[in-house]
Structure 1
Amino acid sequence: MIYITGDCHRDFRRFNTRIFPEQKEMTKDDFVIICGDFGGVWSEGGEDSEERYLLKWLQEKPFTTLFVDGNHENFDRLYEEYPVKEWHGGNVHEIRPSVLHLMRGQVFELCGKTFFTFGGASSHDVSGGILDRSDPSYQEKKKKLDRGWKPYRINHLSWWKEELASEEEMEEGRNNLAAHDNRVDFIVTHSCASSVQDAIGEGLFQKDRETEYLEEILQTVQFQKWFFGHYHDNRNVDEKKILLYEQIIRVV
């Protein structure tokens, strides 16, 4: 069995047995996939007590937790602290033995189906800008933004440039898809293709290099379903493209 859901932001209450009773029939060979903004790797300087508790709680679940990264992850730690392993045909970061980060541009085979994964997205809550703690005027800028209630992020604390994919990650995705004849069963991302973003956002969201890359994937890859998060809604964009937030749905 494979279930899929949207952004968690470190709030994993949807996986308790009352809300998600289906897990009673699941094993570690069954999977729950999170479409980015996992949030379980977030604390600055390493795992704090809350993070260790939550990761232990997920590890003890009967299923295996998988996630693509969103824009709200601590990429300093995600990319450097956890080992990269080959798993089910693609590369993962092993957060715990059964809590795995599905890296960008990979193709995995799970329960007889192929999944192309690609995390990352542009942060929408940064109209106040990105602050840097090494800036001599950091405190002054922060106080001004706090008084004005303008959303901002802080570099290497709540924002990382790695939220958007590198050229190397995008090229790896192209190569891995080509090795599968540009055909997979499912695509799992955090952001979505530019044309899909236009359809759901009605001009609210701006294109970026990642939405344009995903547009390329949309135009060149054959797939059955595409699941994505990021936009905090549950919506069938059309019969093939599905936006997820709190909803948990079974795909296999």
Structure 2
Amino acid sequence: MIAVISDVHFPSNAERQKIMETGLKKLTGIRALFICGDFTDNRNDTKPEEEMKLPEYIKKLPYPVFFIDGNHEDYDVLKRLPKISDSENELLFQKSGCSLTAEDTMKASDGIYYLKRGSVCKIDGFSMLLIGGSTTGPGYKKNHPDIWQKDEDLSKEDEKRVLKSLQENNYTFDLILTHTVPECMVKAWFPDKDLSVTNKILEHVWHSISYQHWLFGHFHDDEDYPERMHCLYNDVMLLEALKDGGIRAERRKL
């Protein structure tokens, strides 16, 4: 069984960090934790020589943690993260059964890994496509020039990596993890939110693939939407692969 959360926003909001810490300690039988972006809240806040600022309660978890980027991470820090070594990738597989494409896996700390856009992960009976990036269109850039980062949206290179992963996996995954959602979903469910190229790319992905569950964050909502799409904020989603090929998905408060 794996667990999925989103928008930890460390170190912002001490009360939220306490809820996260207490809730995660209660989870049992977990093979790995996945975070759908905004793991940290350090936009343009880290000095060049500093490492990524991570919560100690996450570092102490007895299973590996994987995260994609949202719009609150410091992208300069993400770019400096080292690639996971082949030997560490093999050790990770032995411990958790998690098969990763090494060139798309960066090490933030022991047991904590950043999965670049278009990463594919196979773990505990699941095949997963992970796509970070956020809804950061013209309005957002104009209204928040102090915190907007040019790397928040998916680039052409990111799009090529995503398309390559789709092709190599026959456009079929059990789980899709993103930070934001396809353009048509933003328009229908979050009409006050800005749109960007990331939403357009995700819409292309959505029309192209077969999946069982799609999990996302960004909108600070806890809701199950049509098309088996699930927004996470204060909830954790527990997912277990079943013998018949289905997935048991349980939403639970942290």
TM-score range relative to shorter protein: 0.7 to 0.9
Larger radius of gyration: 1
User: Residue 94 of structure 1 aligns to which amino acid in structure 2?
Assistant: K
Query: Is it true that 1:250 corresponds to 2:238 in the alignment?
Result: yes
User: SS at 1:66's partner residue?
Assistant: strand
Of 5, 13, 16, the match for 2:18: 13
What is the CA–CA distance in structure 2 between the aligned matches of 1:178 and 1:199, rounded to whole Å? 29
**Higher RCO (C-alpha 8 Å, min separation 6):** 1
- The aligned counterpart of 1:148 is none
Change (3 A) 1:36 1:114: same
Change (3 A) 1:77 1:21: closer
Change (3 A) 1:50 1:101: closer
Deviation at 1:160, TM superposition (A): 1.4
Change (3 A) 1:152 1:105: same
- The aligned counterpart of 2:244 is none
Pairing 1:1-252 to 2, within 5 Å after superposition? 1-11=1-11, 12-16=17-21, 18-26=22-30, 30-39=31-40, 43-45=45-47, 51=53, 54=55, 56-79=56-79, 81-85=80-84, 87=89, 88-90=99-101, 91-123=104-136, 129=142, 152-154=144-146, 158-201=147-190, 203-238=191-226, 240-252=228-240
Contact 1:185/1:225 (CA < 8 Å) preserved in 2? yes
Contact 1:107/1:176 (CA < 8 Å) preserved in 2? yes
What is the CA–CA distance in structure 1 between the aligned matches of 2:167 and 2:62, rounded to whole Å? 34
Deviation at 1:164, TM superposition (A): 0.4
User: SS at 1:108's partner residue?
Assistant: strand
**Corresponding pairs, count:** 220
With the length of structure 2 as denominator, give the TM-score of the two structures.
0.78
What is the CA–CA distance in structure 1 between the aligned matches of 2:227 and 2:140, rounded to whole Å? 33
Contact 1:37/1:73 (CA < 8 Å) preserved in 2? yes
User: Residue 183 of structure 2 aligns to which amino acid in structure 1?
Assistant: S
Contact 1:24/1:62 (CA < 8 Å) preserved in 2? no
User: SS at 1:84's partner residue?
Assistant: coil
User: Residue 47 of structure 2 aligns to which amino acid in structure 1?
Assistant: G
Contact 2:52/2:108 (CA < 8 Å) preserved in 1? no
User: SS at 2:151's partner residue?
Assistant: helix
What is the CA–CA distance in structure 2 between the aligned matches of 1:20 and 1:107, rounded to whole Å? 24
Q: Structure 1 segments of 4 or more deviating over 6 A? A: 47-50
Deviations, residues 149-207 of structure 1 (Å, cap 9, x unaligned): xx6342xxx33100001101111111111101000000000010011111211x31233
What is the CA–CA distance in structure 1 between the aligned matches of 2:119 and 2:76, rounded to whole Å? 20
Deviation at 1:49, TM superposition (A): 9.9
Contact 1:125/1:152 (CA < 8 Å) preserved in 2? no
